[in-house]
Amino acid sequence: MQIIYIHHGFIDKSTPHSQQKPLHKLGKKDAKLVAELLNIFQTQSNSIKAIYSSPYLRCEQTAKIANKHLKLDIVYDDRLNEIEKTETLVDLYARTREFMADIVHKYDKKDSVVCVTSGLNIVPFIFLSYNLPMHNDMPTIGVPSCSPIVLTIDKENFVVEGDAKL
């Protein structure tokens, strides 16, 4: 199966830092481009079955705009929130692993789902896609705003419990 990871669009930096930061007009424009890309992907494969999003405003707005042509229900899931102040990367990894396990078991290997979340969340998505163990000393990976990244998940070998073995 495929997960189409999308980092939310560029945020309006004039607003105070919070989970409810809205998209900047550039972020909205970028999300419209992602909507066009998803439409092309869907036209070619007809495989996108769902859109999942963090409930943070910037993710919600990105998901709604990206859903323009797909017209799917958007499922909001707190496990797609960015790393919380009290969390470590390993905590984020565990939360993401739980989310991805639910997705992997729910959909067929030919299906694709869209996940709209924050930039740092790409780290556990990549590590889980390759069954790599996560640890707190891993460098963070930056992802440009509104970047769609297609990750292929091997349903038969997806590690659900505990850390993967190298």
Phi, psi of 64, rounded to the nearest 5 degrees? -65, -45
pTM to 2 decimals? 0.92
Spell out the domain ranges in the chain. Answer: 2-157
- Level-2 CATH architecture, domain 2-157: 3-Layer(aba) Sandwich (3.40)
**pLDDT tens series, the chain, 166 aa:** 999 999 999 998 877 766 788 999 999 999 999 999 999 999 999 999 999 999 999 999 999 999 999 999 999 999 999 988 899 888 998 999 999 999 999 999 999 999 999 988 998 999 889 888 888 787 778 788 898 999 999 888 886 655 444 3
